[in-house]
Amino acid sequence: ALKLKPDFPEAKENFYRVANWLVERWHFLMLNDNGRNRKYQLAIQRAVQDGCRSVLDIGTGTGILGMCAKKAGASEVYACELSKTMYELACEVVSANGMADSIKILHKKSLEMEIPRDIPNRVSLVVTETVDAGLLGEGIVESLIHAWKHLLLPPPNAEDVPLSSPSQTGRVIPAGATVFAMAVECHEIRRHHRLCASAVGGLDLAAAGHIRSPVRCSGDADESSEPYTTERLSRLPGGFTALTEPCSVMNIDFNNPQELEGLCLREATRLRVPVIQDGDVDALAVWFQLHLDQENSISTGPDEDTCWEQAVYPVPTHYSVKCSDELLVEVSCRDAYLRVSCAGVMSSSQKRHISSMDEDAEVPSNPELELCSALAGLQTNHDLPAQSFTLECSEIALVNNTNYHECFRKAMAKHLSFFESRGSEVREESSSSSSGPLYVLDVSEGFSVLSLMAARLGPVRAYSSVEKQQHQALLQLLARENGVREDALEFWLGQVEDDSAVLQRPDSDKLWSAIMLDCVEICGLLRQNLMEKASLARCLLEEGGRVFPERIVIHGMLVESDTLLQESAVQGTEPTLGFNIAPFINQFTVPVHVFLDLSTLECTHLSEPAEMFILDLMDSNNNYTSRDVRVRVNAPGRVTAIPFWYHIYLDSDVCVSTFRPDSHWKQVAVILQRPLVVNTGDWVRLRVQFHKSSISITAIR
């Protein structure tokens, strides 16, 4: 559609959502990481010079590693790629670089490849980078076990193969990986995985018992849980404190088929890691070194200036540690995912107790016995309370956002009390005896306690659109613990026939006194159809009723950020080893970068924040679709992006900003296709357009 009509807004907006989904953002980061590309190139060149003539690139992506092999002189190069989009892209790239007839690309998962159907003979080199921040998350172990069995020549030291030259034996790049783990204290991680607030908006949350995120290592695999999440530790707001040294927790040799087979069967290993700093353990951070060959390694560690994220294993319950304690870390590869967890803390006194034991034992104490007794004495009073609730990370960050709830409570209390007092006059005139309850509807997405807060603020019948049974149970538990009568809180979706029409009258003869809308997605974009929902909600309000929020003001500023450029497009052919890849992968560049943490983004501010746009949710006549804004430059540089965020006005003077340290929202940024060179004192004219809930900002030259 875009090719046919490039400025067709619906197609444009959908394309951007689809493009983000089709091509993962890390393709840009990876291709721009010249260091990574050069190290792979060196390793491949060395292997081919060693005699590897036939090469298979597993997970070729854009085809860059396959092209390295060809250029290094390999006689046969094959590549496979399971994503259709990337497969088609790789075909375009390889032919644009004149290698269409010398690299055979298959749209296949490597596990489905067979000889001789897909490749004529076994190859002497497999090159791959099918790894994620947790190393094994893209299935590299399974892929290599299959490759050693079906696609690769036998490894050099295989007993049944007489000593032979590299061209008769198989090898893998990367040759192996070393995994590191480090315990960290980090509030930003904690507030996304554990309840940190004891009360919000006047509600006592202690009753909620144990709230946890879907990220956990324990529990059976079939739960909808994932073992780890990923974070760029060097970019976390508020930073982190290392509580232990990084310690190597696992070594994997990708050139040893037997070891790979045994990896997932291997018992969990336990390590005692010395604590170097007092603090509270919030998570174990995990990264790795990818040993491409004997000389070259790529690290994904937090102190590297590389662009990689680390794997984060949140610790489900509270561990306080002191210097000289030892943290018991458990490492395993259950169901092909790397799992790292805290098994307990051994305090120095317990350690002394254990070490005192082996004084009188002549023979060295049995390490197993020692460890078992240590485990027995551990402070493992971490059994989870009976009732525990799983909320999304963003829902936990929302519940922990005390400012957001305090603002809502203030605005709602003002409205309901005003309403009630005014209501009673109106009702006196109409001499209807019972002032009757005020109907309040909360249509937030996901878990929300706003309806419960409303129910405590007056004679209110509160309706919540919370859908999940578990969330409803949590809300009811909180209602009971906070003295809200059962009949004051109802679940709205149960009332409406099709939950697509969640905005309906409460009753045939009733209208709402207040409706709470959910306007901003966690990623920082405005929710789709926001204005349509607002105008529908307004029709369902009784006289004097209100929609919350009433207004959204968009603020933005001019910045120069090379980091944002690196994450949004491949810059030229230089980083990609001279291969012409940029024009092909950059078709998937999207002009709006979401899930941004603006507070820690490396960037130079070239202007003050400026008001960009106003959305009036109480009166759609006030809304224009385009606005030109002039922004004064206060530092010289190149404007490469325009980050923006929202001031959400719950009423004329209570406002919640989506750009605050405790905000559960992230920010977004428009990336300028062509950077704008500016000098202090310049005025930059921006055209801000609002169409179907999507904001576009262009610089008018």
Ligand X SMILES: CCc1ccncc1CNCCCCSC[C@H]1O[C@@H](n2ccc3c(N)ncnc32)[C@H](O)[C@@H]1O
Contact between residue 215 and residue 194 where contact means Cβ atoms under 8 Å apart: no
**SS3 of residue 602 by DSSP:** coil
Contact between residue 457 and residue 484 where contact means Cβ atoms under 8 Å apart: no
The only residue of 13, 57, 81, 560 in contact with ligand X, by rule CB under 6 A: 81
Task: With contacts defined by CB under 6 A, name the span among 123-131, 443-451, 466-474, 500-508 that binds ligand X.
Answer: 123-131
Contact call for residue 314 and ligand X (CB under 6 A) = no
Contact call for residue 80 and ligand X (CB under 6 A) = yes
Contact between residue 282 and residue 307 where contact means Cβ atoms under 8 Å apart: no
Contact call for residue 312 and ligand X (CB under 6 A) = no
* For ligand X, the closer CB: 112 or 428: 112
Residue 64 CB, nearest approach to ligand X (Å): 11
Residue 592 CB, nearest approach to ligand X (Å): 22
For residue 325, give every residue at least 6 positions away whose Cβ sits within 8 Å of its Cβ, in sequence order, or none: 274, 275, 345, 346, 347, 348
Contact call for residue 382 and ligand X (CB under 6 A) = no
Residue 106 CB, nearest approach to ligand X (Å): 9
Would you tell me how many other CB atoms lie within 10 Å of the CB of residue 379?
13
Residue 21 CB, nearest approach to ligand X (Å): 13
Select from 133, 144, 118, 476 the least CA-distant residue to 287. Answer: 133
Give the integer Cα–Cα distance in Å for 664 and 656.
11
Residue 589 CB, nearest approach to ligand X (Å): 17
Task: With contacts defined by CB under 6 A, name the span among 131-139, 350-358, 420-428, 624-632 that binds ligand X.
Answer: 131-139
Contact call for residue 59 and ligand X (CB under 6 A) = yes
Residue 38 CB, nearest approach to ligand X (Å): 13
Select from 416, 401, 397 the least CA-distant residue to 199. Answer: 401
Contact call for residue 61 and ligand X (CB under 6 A) = yes
* For ligand X, the closer CB: 30 or 181: 30
Residue 139 CB, nearest approach to ligand X (Å): 6
Q: What are the φ and ψ backbone dihedral angles of 444, each rounded to 5 degrees? A: -60, 150
Q: Which two tokens stand for residue 153?
A: 């020549």
Give the integer Cα–Cα distance in Å for 224 and 513.
38
Residue 283 CB, nearest approach to ligand X (Å): 17
- Residues 22-51 binding ligand X (CB under 6 A) are 26, 30
Residue 176 CB, nearest approach to ligand X (Å): 14
Q: Report the DSSP pairing between strands 297-299 and 279-291.
A: antiparallel
Distances from the Cα of 572 to the Cαs of 244, 288, 522, 577, 584, in angstroms? 41, 29, 32, 10, 11
* For ligand X, the closer CB: 108 or 510: 108
* For ligand X, the closer CB: 137 or 316: 137
The only residue of 132, 188, 326, 651 in contact with ligand X, by rule CB under 6 A: 132
Distances from the Cα of 337 to the Cαs of 131, 147, 263, 316, in angstroms? 11, 19, 11, 18
Q: How many residues bind ligand X (CB under 6 A)?
A: 26
* For ligand X, the closer CB: 130 or 607: 130
Contact call for residue 83 and ligand X (CB under 6 A) = yes
Contact call for residue 110 and ligand X (CB under 6 A) = yes
DSSP 240: -
Task: With contacts defined by CB under 6 A, name the span among 57-65, 254-262, 473-481, 561-569 that binds ligand X.
Answer: 57-65
Give the integer Cα–Cα distance in Å for 126 and 173.
6
Residue 298 CB, nearest approach to ligand X (Å): 5
Q: Which two tokens stand for residue 589?
A: 């560049």
* For ligand X, the closer CB: 82 or 596: 82
Give one word for 41, left, alpha or beta, with left for phi > 0 and alpha for psi -120 to 50: alpha
Q: What angle do CA 605, 608, 609 make, to 5 degrees?
A: 105
Select from 439, 649, 466 the least CA-distant residue to 545. Answer: 439
* For ligand X, the closer CB: 576 or 658: 576
**Is the backbone peptide bond immediately before 9 cis, with ω within 30 degrees of 0?**
no
* For ligand X, the closer CB: 284 or 290: 290
Contact between residue 190 and residue 212 where contact means Cβ atoms under 8 Å apart: no
Contact call for residue 63 and ligand X (CB under 6 A) = no
* For ligand X, the closer CB: 290 or 438: 290
Q: Which residue has the tokens 């050693």?
A: 148
Give the integer Cα–Cα distance in Å for 288 and 180.
6
Residue 91 CB, nearest approach to ligand X (Å): 14
The only residue of 48, 298, 457, 515 in contact with ligand X, by rule CB under 6 A: 298
DSSP 32: H
The only residue of 43, 52, 55, 86 in contact with ligand X, by rule CB under 6 A: 86
Beta bridge partners of residue 516, listed in sequence order:
442, 548
Select from 187, 398, 415 the least CA-distant residue to 280. Answer: 187
* For ligand X, the closer CB: 61 or 556: 61
Task: With contacts defined by CB under 6 A, name the span among 127-135, 369-377, 531-539, 647-655 that binds ligand X.
Answer: 127-135
Residue 41 CB, nearest approach to ligand X (Å): 15
Task: With contacts defined by CB under 6 A, name the span among 126-134, 266-274, 531-539, 644-652 that binds ligand X.
Answer: 126-134
Q: Which residue is nearest to ligand X (CB)?
A: 59
Q: What are the φ and ψ backbone dihedral angles of 507, each rounded to 5 degrees? A: -155, 160
The only residue of 131, 284, 340, 684 in contact with ligand X, by rule CB under 6 A: 131
Q: Which two tokens stand for residue 526?
A: 């405005």
Task: With contacts defined by CB under 6 A, name the span among 119-127, 136-144, 473-481, 671-679 that binds ligand X.
Answer: 136-144
Residue 145 CB, nearest approach to ligand X (Å): 11
The only residue of 123, 133, 144, 249 in contact with ligand X, by rule CB under 6 A: 133
Contact call for residue 581 and ligand X (CB under 6 A) = no
Q: Which two tokens stand for residue 642?
A: 């325009």
Overall size of the chain counted in residues: 701
The only residue of 138, 278, 330, 597 in contact with ligand X, by rule CB under 6 A: 138
Contact between residue 457 and residue 437 where contact means Cβ atoms under 8 Å apart: no
The only residue of 130, 213, 289, 296 in contact with ligand X, by rule CB under 6 A: 130
Q: Which residue has the tokens 């690769």?
A: 152
* For ligand X, the closer CB: 82 or 547: 82
Q: Is the C-alpha dihedral spanning 444, 448, 450, 451 positive or negative?
A: positive
The only residue of 55, 82, 285, 407 in contact with ligand X, by rule CB under 6 A: 82
Residue 18 CB, nearest approach to ligand X (Å): 16
Contact call for residue 139 and ligand X (CB under 6 A) = yes
* For ligand X, the closer CB: 464 or 576: 576
Select from 142, 96, 69 the least CA-distant residue to 583. Answer: 96
Q: Which two tokens stand for residue 376?
A: 């027995």
Q: Which two tokens stand for residue 699?
A: 């610089």
Give the integer Cα–Cα distance in Å for 361 and 357.
7
Within 216-322, residue ranges assigned H as helices are 257-263
Residue 82 CB, nearest approach to ligand X (Å): 4
* For ligand X, the closer CB: 2 or 111: 111
Residue 129 CB, nearest approach to ligand X (Å): 5
Binding site for ligand X (CB under 6 A): 26, 30, 58-59, 61, 80-83, 86, 109-111, 129-133, 138-139, 143, 290, 298, 300, 308-309
